[in-house]
Amino acid sequence: MQHTINQNEINMLRTELELLMRERQSLLKITGIAAGLIAELDSHNLPVATIEAADLLATSINGLSEETLQEALNAVHAEII
């Protein structure tokens, strides 16, 4: 009986871990796309509210570790310029 409970717990944890890994990959792609978008913006031609939103996004992206940012860029095949 104890073995069955442990196996069920292991299966639940495995399923949860797989879900988290898929979600992480999706978030890395979103972050990579956002970083690319920010890099391409010409702030001289944007409304102030858009610049403020872009600045908030850029600040959040810059808060990531270099390794995580590189993973995000790799997820969308982008490069740091």
pLDDT score for 48: 93
39-69, pLDDT tens digit by residue? 888 888 899 999 999 999 999 999 999 999 9
For residues 73 and 35, the answer to whether their CB atoms sit within 8 Å is yes
6-17, pLDDT tens digit by residue? 888 999 999 999
Q: What is the pTM of this model?
A: 0.79
pLDDT score for 1: 55
DSSP 15-77: HHHHHHHHHHHHHHHHHHHHHHHHHH--GGGS-HHHHHHHHHHHHHHHTS-HHHHHHHHHHTT
Domain boundaries, the chain: 2-75
